[in-house]
Structure 1
Amino acid sequence: MKEITAKELALKLKNETNISVIDVREDEEVAQGIIPNAKHIPLGQLPDRLDEIDKHQAHYMVCRSGGRSGKACSFLSGKGYDVTNMAGGMLAFEDDVQK
């Protein structure tokens, strides 16, 4: 599984456009803060919401600590998606979040 650090992803978000971040945390977790412009799809809803994820774009998967986003990466890569897990999750993300 491909991984990126929270610091590397924050830098990418500052320097590049059209970065796709998918947050697989639950609603109550996201209410505490989400990476700006990230798409929120809880892990349990992922199989039913594949049509919302562009198969022709790379995606960075995020959760609280990196475990659920890792599961999301395994699931999506098995379906042919280009996905990278953010190691350490939101616990490691030190940049601004949207509330």
Structure 2
Amino acid sequence: MDTFASELEKMDFEFFATGQYSFHVDEAVNLITNPHFLFLDVRAPEEVKYVEFPFAKHIPLDELPKRLDELPRDKFIVPFCASSFRAALAFGYLLSQGYDEVKALAEGSDALAGVLKPGPLYSLEG
């Protein structure tokens, strides 16, 4: 059986109802400085040139299969994008490729940028 198909079969009502697949921005922002977490920006280069997240690894979704070797398997990967659609695709794909620790960002990159204001940023730096 296709590994992606087997991951999809696990995504039943309980899976989505309990939020097992994602972090909300308010949870995720506290993980930015945690070295076990790798934020994966799967937006297109055209989007990144306007709003960049320096703490994130940027691999556009369409390049992910060819650049999979750039992602460590010993980190918790948090894919995100502008709307959460591509992040969800990256989530499923990474699971199908044997990544055990993956959760997508439930909101888009606008929400992430919105919480990164001077107060929260200052606390991340300290």
> Which consecutive residues of structure 2, in runs of 5 or more, have no partner in the other structure?
1-19, 122-126
TM-score w.r.t. length of structure 1: 0.86
> Which consecutive residues of structure 1, in runs of 5 or more, have no partner in the other structure?
none
Q: How many residues align?
A: 96
Alpha-carbon contact 2:36-2:75 (below 8 Å) kept: no
Identity across matched positions, percent: 32
> Which structure has the higher relative contact order (CA within 8 Å, separation 6+)?
1
Q: Which amino acid aligns with 2:78?
A: Y
Q: Where does residue 95 of structure 2 map in the other structure?
A: 77
> Is the radius of gyration larger for structure 1 or structure 2?
2
Q: Residue 59 of structure 1 aligns to a residue in which SS?
A: strand
Q: Where does residue 86 of structure 1 map in the other structure?
A: 105
Alpha-carbon contact 1:65-1:92 (below 8 Å) kept: no
Q: Residue 103 of structure 2 aligns to a residue in which SS?
A: strand
Distance in structure 1 (CA, Å) of the matches to 2:68 and 2:32: 23
Runs of 4+ in 1 over 4 A off after TM superposition: none
**Does residue 1:12 correspond to 2:31, yes or no?**
yes
Would you tell me which structure has more strand in proportion to its own residues? Answer: 1
TM-score w.r.t. length of structure 2: 0.69
Offset from partner CA, 1:6-40 (integer Å, 9 cap, x none) = 121112225x3343111000001111212222010
Would you tell me which structure has more helix in proportion to its own residues? Answer: 2
